[in-house]
Amino acid sequence: MTPDDFRQHGHALIDWIADYIEGVEQFPVASQVQPGDIRASLPEHPPAAAEPFTDVLADLDRVVMPGITHWQHPSFFAYFPGNSSYPAILGELAAAGLGVQGMSWVTSPACTEVETLMMDWMQELLGLPAKFLSTSAHGGGVIHGSASEATLASILAARWRATGGSINTTGDTSHLVAYATSQAHSSIEKGLRIAGIGTAQLRMVPHDGSFAMRVDELERMVADDIAAGLTPFWVCCTRGTTSSMAFDRVGLAAEVARRHGMWLHVDAAMSGIGALAPEHRWINDGLELADSYCTNPHKWMGVNFDCDLFYTADRAALLGALSILPEYLRSAAAASGAAIDYRDWQIPLGRRFRALKLWFTIRAGGVADAVEMIRRHVALTQQLAEWVRLDERFEIVAPHPLNLLCMRLTAGDEATDALIARANDSGAALFTRTVLDGVVACRVSIGGRTTDERHVRAAWQLLQSLAGEPT
Amino acid sequence: MTPDDFRQHGHALIDWIADYIEGVEQFPVASQVQPGDIRASLPEHPPAAAEPFTDVLADLDRVVMPGITHWQHPSFFAYFPGNSSYPAILGELAAAGLGVQGMSWVTSPACTEVETLMMDWMQELLGLPAKFLSTSAHGGGVIHGSASEATLASILAARWRATGGSINTTGDTSHLVAYATSQAHSSIEKGLRIAGIGTAQLRMVPHDGSFAMRVDELERMVADDIAAGLTPFWVCCTRGTTSSMAFDRVGLAAEVARRHGMWLHVDAAMSGIGALAPEHRWINDGLELADSYCTNPHKWMGVNFDCDLFYTADRAALLGALSILPEYLRSAAAASGAAIDYRDWQIPLGRRFRALKLWFTIRAGGVADAVEMIRRHVALTQQLAEWVRLDERFEIVAPHPLNLLCMRLTAGDEATDALIARANDSGAALFTRTVLDGVVACRVSIGGRTTDERHVRAAWQLLQSLAGEPT
């Protein structure tokens, strides 16, 4: 492809993306294909020679589009907000165009320094504790690809601190015990398992009626484990659980953690960005006592996936767990201590220039756009809750302080399951199912960049129309 | 940003990228800034309101460019090939524009199925064993972000198999022992450490004069560990080590691995793509006996970072290690077994539509482009070696079958270090230093998409001009 070809096809692709995003409502929200359909529409073997790029672009419509579940559709109410924005797309494009690799400061200083500044900007915009600033004595932040990686990094830092660093040599995790609720994200159990902390070493702390951690039970379980000669080393509080958006009380859990020398991680992957709006800054309650924290601009800030903010108050533990310095990665800048090498703050070695999409979004989109969007989503969720309360066939099954509403049919699990399946099959909206204390619920996650009242109203009318007779 | 703004700024950014790539030779290869310089040229606090995108684009030139070490510069001879290409950039743009998340088949079937097909296409293009095909009885492949993650996934699968799956519950790694040479990538030790396999459980197998693993020593160490009651569970052979591009003999190591039930992982992150050229298919020797394998299109195939191909012959072990299925991620398609959920093949949950950039590259760039590039790099490396042999001040310190040449000044380590520093400071080229068996060497990695004889000749003349008098 010549540079002129690239300009021509690049312009066409930019226009294709704008057409796609502006026209996304014409598509069914969820892909309607069956397993194997997409592959069957492509050649089983690679082409022998280069093809015209126009053919490739045409295949985006012909082949790819039928297999897309449209996360940017305003009637996408599934999983979690995954909203994107035009400035973020351009940020991703700029990163791809530069083609640099930011594993070390020296491999492209701008890649590291813009990222560090973005982490500090986000600390300010979210109102996070100053101990997470890069300029603080012991803390700092880094962009990870996902909250899963942030969780794992937190576990590894905690593991290192709890063993005085000996874990790096001995690999001995046999005495370590971790704590979370059954409502914590699956990446908690997965991260622990990866780190050699088996499920027998993960305590599921009971939750209360709001699906938040019972800290009295945490205290009791920690005491039992200590009495048994074990070492409680890590507790995860979630601020906005995936199933129902429950909020563990960080301050209370932190007291237990402090008393017993445990690392406290706060997972706010889904909801933390809500703190951009000052009235939702309660999301941060207790964070001043946390050892690490993560939240995702790729969920609720219009920064397309992947962009997770991971902060720690103890960077020495993180570096202790993850630094390895072979000869071919040494540099004078890093040796002097003046520069950050982010490869030592994450699981992989290589890294893209992800800070660009955050920088572009904050500057060109303005935080005001994100705040307006967050407020709109929260208001729509409360509006939906009012409608649901007026229909006796439905009940709301969890608190809904922000932008997730969990509801069910009073007719029971089977009816609720059937309702979700029929609604999703319609293509007019997409919801996710969950189970809360043994009861099936329909999650309505309101998080699309362009989701407005008409979409939520239509979604509710869809659910009502499919709900059947009252029991 | 309105859709029309996006079109306008998107076209401008496409043109900016073409101008950058075509004009990259005007820049010094390595950024000349000092730590803190880039940050100091940006506001310490986020903007209160949205700024014109033209200001953002202008800052790419004003602020970012001085802090870029140009991986796409034809005189970039540092680290490893990190070449990109126009079709791959467009693939990344398309993925960002679609804004979908491919954690499960159902969250966008095309994201999964195009990826599966690309893994099968690459098996064919590289001439890899059929047991790695998605259509094989027990194997399959997935795109990871980096070889670090592939290595870790391999370790976790091996750990699961060696413990009969009990690792997920007990976290007990105390009896497990792993093997690699000191020339293996740092991600090996890092991955093991993450998995709770301490450095005391990693055996550094001695290497021979070509920096390849001494399999007789592997055999001896494994026997010693078994005699000591330990469980050898994982051995890593590298096909193209980072320091000197050495090739461990997979077939011989596999015999040892098979005999003792160990998992054999082959790390060909840097060199494996060379097998696109039929005359270099020897890189794959012994792979039919490996349990897992990885190589990076983001190194030597013009697919921009991140794109690592990870294949396994035992997907059950991989899934055993990494599957976790919470209620909110269940789907009928996955439950039926007809669909792949790639979240269970990797460390994080979320994933971008990375297959697009590989698909775009293969189709629009054609594999012929990559093969031509690989052949050019190998020929240039051999040409450089001939020149070096004619200058008695220099010596070549390792075999150089492909595109990496390690050389040093016969005057010694200090002189070689000084030479590398002066050459890099010139901005005319960039090299990396390494240490091979205690001796400092200058690595010349020839891997730029546009690197041609004139660049290699100029680099050599630069080194000669700075080498000083013969000793």
Percentage of residues in chain A with pLDDT exceeding 70?
99
Return the bridge partners of A238, or none: A267
Tokens of A216: 């009295």
B182 close to B438: Cβ distance less than 8 angstroms: no
Handedness of CA B388, B390, B392, B397 (dihedral sign): positive
Confidence of residue A471 (pLDDT cuts 50, 70, 90): low
- Nearest CB to A172 within list B36, B174, B305: B174
N residues, chain A: 471
* φ, ψ at B231 (rounded to 5°): -120, 100
Give me the amino acid identity at B64: V
Interface test with A, best of B100, B182, B351 (most A CBs within 10 A): B100
Give me the amino acid identity at A299: K
Chain mean pLDDT for chain B: 96
User: To which H or E segment does residue A96 belong?
Assistant: helix A86-98
DSSP A361: I
Could you tell me if A361 lies within 8 Å of chain B, comparing CB atoms?
no
- Nearest CB to A64 within list B55, B110, B185: B110
3 state DSSP class of A270: coil
Rounded CA separation B256/B289 (Å): 11
* Class for the domain spanning B100-352: alpha beta
**Residues A406-424, mean pLDDT to the nearest whole number:** 97
3 state DSSP class of A235: strand
Does residue A326 register a pLDDT over 80?
A: no
Q: Which residues of chain B have pLDDT under 50?
A: none
Rounded CA separation A177/A157 (Å): 14
**Residues A243-260, mean pLDDT to the nearest whole number:** 97
For residue A96, list chain B residues with Cβ-Cβ distance below 8 A.
84, 88-89, 92-93, 304
Return the bridge partners of B143, or none: B309
Is 0.95 topped by the overall pTM? Answer: yes
**What per-residue confidence (pLDDT) applies to B471?**
62
Residue A155 to chain B, least CA–CA distance (Å)? 10
Q: Where are the domains of chain A?
A: 1-30+69-83+366-471, 37-68, 100-352
Rounded CA separation B221/B256 (Å): 11
> ipTM, 2 decimals?
0.96
What per-residue string of b and e applies to A194-208 under the rule 16 or more CB within 10 Å gives b? Answer: bbbbbeebbbebebe
Angle at B79 between CA B77 and CA B81, to 5 degrees: 70
Tokens of A377: 């989503």
Does residue A330 register a pLDDT over 80?
A: no
Asked whether the beta carbons of residue B9 and residue A50 sit closer than 8 angstroms, the reply is: no
Chain mean pLDDT for chain A: 96
Rounded CA separation B7/A15 (Å): 6
**CATH classification of A1-30+69-83+366-471 is 3.90.45.10, yes or no?**
no
Does residue A22 register a pLDDT over 70?
A: yes
What is the secondary structure of A184-246 as a DSSP string?
S-HHHHHHHHHTT--GGGEEEE-B-TTS-B-HHHHHHHHHHHHHTT-EEEEEEEEBS-TTT--
For residue A120, list chain B residues with Cβ-Cβ distance below 8 A.
44
For residue A178, list chain B residues with Cβ-Cβ distance below 8 A.
none
Asked whether the beta carbons of residue A324 and residue B242 sit closer than 8 angstroms, the reply is: no
Asked whether the beta carbons of residue B171 and residue A172 sit closer than 8 angstroms, the reply is: no
Tell me the Cα Rg of chain B: 24
Residue for token pair 């870790």: B152
Rounded CA separation B155/B289 (Å): 17
Residue for token pair 């909206």: A429
- Cα B104 vs. chain centroid, distance in angstroms? 25
What is the secondary structure of A308-328 as a DSSP string?
EEEEES-HHHHHHHH----GG
For residue A34, list chain B residues with Cβ-Cβ distance below 8 A.
333, 338
Angle at B337 between CA B333 and CA B341, to 5 degrees: 65
Q: Which of residues 8-67 of A touch B (CB under 8 A)?
A: 9-11, 13-18, 20-22, 30-31, 33-39, 42, 44-47, 49-53, 55-56, 60, 63-67
Asked whether the beta carbons of residue A347 and residue B152 sit closer than 8 angstroms, the reply is: yes
Give me the amino acid identity at A202: L
For residue B328, list chain A residues with Cβ-Cβ distance below 8 A.
79, 242-243, 432-434, 443
**What per-residue confidence (pLDDT) applies to A146?**
97
Tokens of B254: 């596999």
**Residues A238-254, mean pLDDT to the nearest whole number:** 97
Rounded CA separation A234/A180 (Å): 9
Sheet holding B394-396, edge to edge: B394-396, B404-409, B439-445, B432-436
Tens digits of per-residue pLDDT, B51-110? 999 999 999 999 999 999 999 999 999 999 999 999 999 999 999 999 999 999 999 999
